[in-house]
Amino acid sequence: MLATEEIARLIPRGKDKAITRKALRLLTGYPDRFIRKCIATLRLNGLVIINTQDGRGYYKSKKISDMEAQYKITHSKAMKLLVQCGVLRRELKKKNVIVR
């Protein structure tokens, strides 16, 4: 079984059954960074995985309220990264570095 498939299988449905990355590490033996990459890959491939940053962990959900909460968290992180990119871009341009 591929690691991403194993992680997908271990992530339960429903907030009340959420699983932490620590528990995923203990169950799989995979390092934390690898688990995060697997979860990112699963999300990019269309699996809705929720983590509301409340310490409960990850879970699958089709509930609109869960997806809205995850969207807000993800959108906020993305906007902060874009701001950082803007700062870096300006500094690189000052140094005549071409940024694409």
Q: Is residue 45 part of a domain?
A: yes
Domain count for the chain: 1
pLDDT band at 100 (very low <50, low <70, confident <90, very high): confident
Q: What is the pLDDT of residue 52?
A: 86
Residue 22, pLDDT > 90, answer yes
Domain presence at residue 100: no
Q: Look at residue 99 and tell me if it is in a domain.
A: no
Q: Which of 71, 57, 72 is nearest to 19 (CA)?
A: 57
DSSP annotation of 12: P
Q: Counting runs of H as helices and runs of E as strands, what totals does the chain give?
A: 4, 2
Distance CA 33, CA 20 (A): 13
Structural domain span for residue 84: 3-94
In this structure, what CATH number is given to the domain that contains residue 62? Answer: 1.10.10
Query: Does residue 20 fall inside a structural domain?
Result: yes
Q: Which of 22, 21, 26, 28 is nearest to 6 (CA)?
A: 28
- Residue 23 is assigned to a structural domain of this protein: yes
Query: Model-level pTM?
Result: 0.86
Q: Is residue 17 part of a domain?
A: yes
Task: Report residue 58: phi and psi, to 5°.
Answer: -105, 145
Question: Identity (one letter) of the amino acid at 39?
Answer: I
Residue range 24-50: average pLDDT?
97
pLDDT score for 56: 92
